[in-house]
Amino acid sequence: MVKAIVGANWGDEGKGKMTDMLAQEADIVVRFQGGANAGHTIVNKYGKFALHTLPSGVFNENVTSVIGNGVALNIPILFNEIKDIMSKGVPEPKLLISNRAQMVMPYHIDFDTYEEARLAGKSFGSTKSGIAPFYSDKYAKIGFQVSELFDDEAVLKEKIARVCEIKNVMLEDLYHKPKLDEDKLYETMMEYKKMVEPYVCDTSLYLWNAIRKGKNILLEGQLGSLKDPDHGIYPMVTSSSTLAAYGAIGAGLPPYEIKQIITVCKAYSSAVGAGAFVSEIFGEEAEELRNRGGDGGEYGATTGRPRRMGWFDCVASKYGCRIQGTTDVAFTVLDVLGYLDEIPVCTGYEIDGKVTTDFPVTSLLEKAKPVLEVLPGWKCDIRGIKKYEDLPENCRKYIEFIEDKIGFPITMVSNGPSRDDIIYR
């Protein structure tokens, strides 16, 4: 059976924790999109980890970790991550890398950095991991698949020359930077080849066979619905689809095999990068939620930058769940709200004097003002509680209020960062 674990919002909802937890019963965990630009923070018996490329099932010895064809594969980062987890006592991961995955090249990172600098105040808030230039090249058909590392030398060199010709025009004329060195690029790629060779295979075929043998497969999404290039807050989005539907493409398996779509929704909002964020809060109120949020504060796992904070947004989350095709909502980080006397929730957007509960396109989103309803807090620590009935009444009311507004069943409630902090309903 194939399950997808995806985000309803702007990312950082706690997908890593949910994947690590659900991986205990999985055989295979697949990353199907994105790259090392976002991180998943995971707390388990080995310690606390920020994963960027490795699937979050990697801590379970029974799990095979797959880097799917849809991923932006940064080979040095992947191998540093493997080295890092092994140095902390995690057994060597069983890893497979798709022969169709494309590679983030050193120049993608340079181009990302140069473009952010060129855009200055109008930048997209990129993490400068090369993701946008990488996906641009993929669709411009000048990217490099892992399989090309195994081509004849002459074939690969000819392609490198062709790609450099285009890149060098931009480097010289737009960014005024030094040109690419073709020989150095070839050497780098040969180093990449040595690193990945033991792991490369046709992962789509591997997954097809695994499905036929009845294996349990998790598809792990990165970021969330609102960062999807088609359905998110374009252009303040990421460069690959963050939706469960793309799991079929980025892993290479039949769409009808995805039987469960677990959409992770955080009990309050946070966002990174620029873009409209209707329920955003500021000042001391935001500072307190940021510092108390997540596990040790809401700061980027990749960049360390402070996340923007806001109240739970029913409009964005209802949409985020719908566009994912949600079968189950995992409602996370609820424990963090225990300090509040009252908890505002955004239940509608007022746009040009009219209130809507339907998430609008970006131009209208920019004009939206939050309609807030205030619920009573529960004023206690709910960590350690295992049964839904044992949660304080106001806490259950908060969950049920949100479930009603978003219209999808909250079947799991996460009340702490570790694997066991989970309440099934």
- Contact between 336 and ligand GDP by CB under 6 A: the answer reads yes
Among 330, 333, 371, 412, binds ligand GDP (CB under 6 A): 333
What are the structure tokens assigned to 336, written together? 């963090």
- Contact between 112 and ligand GDP by CB under 6 A: the answer reads no
Q: Judge whether 34 and 129 are in contact, CB under 8 Å.
A: no
Stretch that binds ligand GDP, among 107-115, 143-151, 251-259, 414-422 (CB under 6 A): 414-422
Among 3, 4, 6, 7, binds ligand GDP (CB under 6 A): 7
Among 9, 261, 421, 423, binds ligand GDP (CB under 6 A): 421
| CB 341, min distance to ligand GDP, A | 19
- How many amino acids of this chain bind ligand GDP (CB under 6 A)? 24
Nearer to ligand GDP, 191 or 381 (CB): 381
In the residue annotation, 40 being an active-site residue is answered as yes
| CB 93, min distance to ligand GDP, A | 18
Q: How many CA atoms lie within 13 A of 36 on its CB side?
A: 19
Nearer to ligand GDP, 70 or 416 (CB): 416
Q: Judge whether 337 and 401 are in contact, CB under 8 Å.
A: no
CA dist., res. 425 & res. 389, Å (int): 9
| CB 143, min distance to ligand GDP, A | 25
Pairing mode, strands 64-67 and 40-44: unpaired
Nearer to ligand GDP, 12 or 112 (CB): 12
Residues 49-78 that bind ligand GDP (CB under 6 A): none
| CB 51, min distance to ligand GDP, A | 8
- Contact between 330 and ligand GDP by CB under 6 A: the answer reads no
- Contact between 196 and ligand GDP by CB under 6 A: the answer reads no
CA dist., res. 103 & res. 150, Å (int): 13
| CB 336, min distance to ligand GDP, A | 5
| Interface mask toward ligand GDP for 12-51; x: CB under 6 A | xxxxxx--------------------x-xx-x--------
- Contact between 11 and ligand GDP by CB under 6 A: the answer reads yes
Is 404 exposed, middle or buried (CB count within 10 Å of its CB: 0-12, 13-18, 19+)? Answer: exposed
Stretch that binds ligand GDP, among 67-75, 248-256, 317-325, 329-337 (CB under 6 A): 329-337
- Contact between 417 and ligand GDP by CB under 6 A: the answer reads yes
Task: Count CB neighbours of 92 within 10 A.
Answer: 10
- Contact between 228 and ligand GDP by CB under 6 A: the answer reads no
Q: 20, 40, 313, 328: which one is catalytic?
A: 40
Residues 273-302 that bind ligand GDP (CB under 6 A): 294-295, 301
Nearer to ligand GDP, 57 or 416 (CB): 416
| CB 221, min distance to ligand GDP, A | 8
CA dist., res. 55 & res. 64, Å (int): 9
Read off φ and ψ for residue 10, nearest 5 degrees. -100, 10
In the residue annotation, 358 being an active-site residue is answered as no
Dmax over Cα atoms in the chain, in whole Å? 69
Q: Using CB under 6 A as the criterion, which residues of the chain lie in contact with ligand GDP when the complex forms?
A: 7, 11-17, 38, 40-41, 43, 294-295, 301, 332-333, 335-336, 414-417, 421
Residues carrying an active site annotation: 12, 40
